[in-house]
Every structure is written in structure tokens, then in C-alpha cells.
Chains A and B, each alone.
Chain A
Amino acid sequence: MRDGGTAVRRADWLERSVAVALVVVAASALIAAIRLNAAAGAGGDDLLAGLGARIERRVSAERDQIRPALAAAARGERAVARHEAEAALGRLESNSQLHLFLAGVYREGGETGPALREYRRAVELVRDYTDTRSPHFIGAGLAIWLREVQPGLAAAALADLHYLKRALAGGCS
């Protein structure tokens, strides 16, 4: 009876020792991982700057690709700018700046449906456009315009309008 009790106590002691050892090993691994991250210079600011720089590079490269349209718009040649942008759409489908540019062109021309479609495409490509804390946030002016959009849109345009409103509302998704 006494031997049995001793064996149980020994097993309990062994189990607790293994648990403590596991916690110590896991804690050491965690501390090592944190230190390695810090030593590699991957601090939050650096990482954030890296992510920001990546988007900045993308936006900059995209603007380079649509330079003819931007130049025409700067000269005030709206029809030429629109033609250039629409011609580029086929080969630059994933160029978010092109979609933003076209959205602006359509919006100025009162073409609500196409403007909504292009805004949505741009936001789908770069979610930072609706991130209030991103330097590329376009939402302030867009939200006001969306509120002013008149009812009576076609179904596809209405879906784009609702998508953009949800994107601007934030939330976890």
C-alpha cells in the first residue's frame, strides 16, 4: 500500500517536472524568437515603413505606366487623357492608379456607374485606399461623394456603391 502511494507521488512529481521543463523550454524559445526579431532590426516601425514603402513603390510604378494619360490631364486635355487611360485598360488591368484615374474622369463627367466600378476595382487592388491611417487613403472625399450618389442606379452600380460603403466602414474582414 505504501509502495503504491510512493509510486503515485513519484509519477505526479515526474509529471509536474515535465510540465515545468516544457514551460521553461517554450519560454526560452519565445524569448529567443523575440530577441532574434529585434536583433534583425525588424522593429514595428521598420516593418511598417517596409510595408508602406512597398505600396509607395507600387503606386509610383503604376503612375509611371500611365504617364501619357496623367500628362494629358495636366495639360487640361480631358478627352485625350480619357482616351489614353481607356486604351491602357486592356494591358494594365491590375494598375490601381489607372482605375483611380478613370474613376475621377468618369466622376467629373457625371458617369456615376462607371466611376463606382473603377473605384471598386482600385480598392480591391489596394485596400490601403480605404484604410484611414494609410497615407494613400482616398476615403474622405469618396465618402462624401458616395452619400451624394442619387438612387436609381443599375444593379451592378448599386452593388459597387454598397461595396465601397462597406470598405469605408472598416471592421474586421
Chain B
Amino acid sequence: MKVKALLCWLDAHLDLVSGLAIGLAGAGLVLLGNPRNSGICASCFAENVAGALRLHGDPRMSYLRPELPGFLLGATLAALAGRRFQARSGSAPLLRFFVGAFLIVGSAVFLGCPIKVVLRLAGGDLTAFSGLGGLVAGVWVGVRFLQKGFFLGKSSRTGALAGWVLPAAMALLAAAAVLAPPAFTGGLVGAAREHAPPFASLGIGLVVGALAQRSKFCVSGSLRNFMLTRNARMLGGLTLLFVAALGVNLAAGLFQPGLYDQPGSHLDWGWAAGGMFLVGLGAILIGGCPFRQLVLAGEGDADAGAAVLGMLVAGGLVQSWGLRSTIAGVTPAGKLATLIGLVLVLGTALAYRERS
């Protein structure tokens, strides 16, 4: 009876469980070998996978990270188990492709996706506060557009094939990530060399993806729900993500607070905030941050699949065109791309407001 009650409680609090699991996984993957403060980062993983697929030529950022297909396939398995897998499409897929691409541009300028904002803070990286501020502001503006009737159009059920394209492709990538030789998967030098054992990465990715599918957990989604409902309970999962990662970092001696000597960071705080503003706003317009897009695509949402493809293409472009930051700061091309992204995403938001 107690077990049943516990299961019921867990089912009712899946967002908290997901936040806790992502926090533990994010910090735990660092202990297993992933780069510091980057245990889970959908945008870093997209850049790494793009490199492994030869979409850019920097071997330091080329590794077929098994977590990325793991997130998507975990969501697929959970959706199938819960009879929630449904192929659907038709809500401005091309726009979602471009917004998905700009989510990666914004993340590359900040140096991390919304989950990594929290993981960086939990590692003591005080520069991540700029990203957090930008993210919250971007979500707030996105929520204002939602309240003013922003709507990208209704998606509808479609042929099963459309929903299965990305899970099938990710199954192949997952197989390659754990079975193919390093010549194919990369991960030989620099940050790409820092990685957890592939089977562990894939396993953790599957569990996290499955939990995120069941709970609909998303960093920007949590902020959006809080702003819409003013219910602090909506921030529970996000808070637990931070607390769990902080706890692991403290226990492992990886919590090193500071501004100037943080791994994978830079001091262009204004641009970091701008990049995350772009991510926050874009995420609200297309229904979730890069991690959430992976989970949605795993459920059969072909529109989110288009966003994921945009993310992978952008993962290649941010490296090969330099639309990003380095530890020295934001590149001129990164600044320009952020501004273009802001104009396009704001333009989309204005264009898709429902008019009376």
C-alpha cells in the first residue's frame, strides 16, 4: 500500500522528480568524464554531434555524444509506453527550423543552453547570472506575446512516418555513438575528448529523456508557467535541478565560486544576456528550449523535429562561421548573428499575433 502511495506521489510530482534527475545527471556526468559544468547541455551536444557528422571541421568540438539521441529516444520509449506517441505536424515547421537554429546561436553566444545556465550556477560560475537574467527576460517577453494571442498555428495528426523519421535517425546515431570507432564518432581532442563512457551516457540520456517526456519538464517552460500562473510550485523542478547539481558539486569538490576563472565562460556579460534573451524568447514561441524540442520530437512531433534539425544545422554553422563565443569573448559574427536572430524572432512574434 505504501509503495502504491509512493508511486502515486511520484506520478503527481514528476516535474520535481525530473528536475532532481536532471540535476543529478548533469553533475554526475561531469564526474563520469563530461566537461565541467557541461554534464548536460543540449546546445553543446548539438554542436558536438554536428561536428561528428562533419557539419563543421573543429575536432575539439566533434563527438557523437550519446546523450543527445538518448534524450530523444527516451522520450519515444516513454511516449510509446504511455500510449502518447502521436505523429503530428503542420504548425509552421519552416519557422520552427529557423527559430530552432537561433536557439543554438543564442546558446553558443552565452556558452550553454538553459539547463547549462543552471548547471553553471550550481558549479559556482557567477557569470551565468547574466545568462539567467537574459533567459528570464526573454521568457517574460515571450509570455507577453502569448498573452497577446501569439499562435504559430495548430498542428494536426499526420502519417506515422513523419513522426518516426527523427526517432529512427536518432536510433542510428545512438547505435553509432556506442558501437562505431572513434574515427567516426570523434571525441579525440579538446573538450570533445572529455566524455563519460558511451553506454553510461546513453543510459542516462534515455532515463532523463523518458522522465522529461512524462513530466513535460523544461527550464524555460517552468519559467513560463510560473509567469502565467504566479504559482511558485511551477518552479519546483527547476529549483530541485539546481539544488541536486549543487549538492553533487559540493560533495565532489567541484563547486568553485568565482567570476573570472570559470570553465567554458567569458566576460561579455551583456552579450551573454542577449544570447539567452534570444533563447528564452525563441523557446516560448516554439514551445520549449532545445532540450524540450528533442523530447517533443521523440513523441512524434514533426514540427519539433524541424526545430531539432535546425539545431543540428546551426550546431555546424556556429562553429564553421564563428557565430559564437570563445573564452576570449563573443566573436563579431556571433554578435551580428544574435542581433539578426533577435530581429527575426521578434518579427515572427509580431507577425503571428492573433488580431481581432
Contacts and interface: CB of A to CB of B under 8 A. Distances in A.
Interface string B253-273: 000000011111111000000
Given A34-B181, A47-B188, A173-B111, A166 B161 contact: no
Interface of B: 35-38, 41, 44, 59-61, 111-112, 159-161, 164-165, 168-169, 171-172, 175-176, 179-184, 188-191, 193-194, 260-267, 325-328
Contacts of B182: 43-44, 47-48
A44 B181 contact: yes
A55 to B, nearest CB: 9
B263 A34 contact: no
Q: Which applies to chain A's interface (DSSP): helix, strand, loop or mixed? A: helix
Nearest to A37: B183
Contacts of B181: 34, 37-38, 43-44
Given A22-B168, A23-B168, A173-B264, A16 B160 contact: yes
A131 B169 CA distance: 33
Contacts of A47: 182-183, 188
A16 B164 CA distance: 10
Contacts of B164: 19
B191 A19 contact: no
Contacts of B183: 37-38, 42-44, 46-47
B66 to A, nearest CB: 15
Given A46-B183, A166-B266, A167-B327, A173 B261 contact: no
A45 to B, nearest CB: 8
A58 to B, nearest CB: 14
Contact of B35 (A19, A27, A170): A170
Interface string A25-55: 0110010011001100011101110010000
Nearest to B325: A173
A33 B183 CA distance: 11
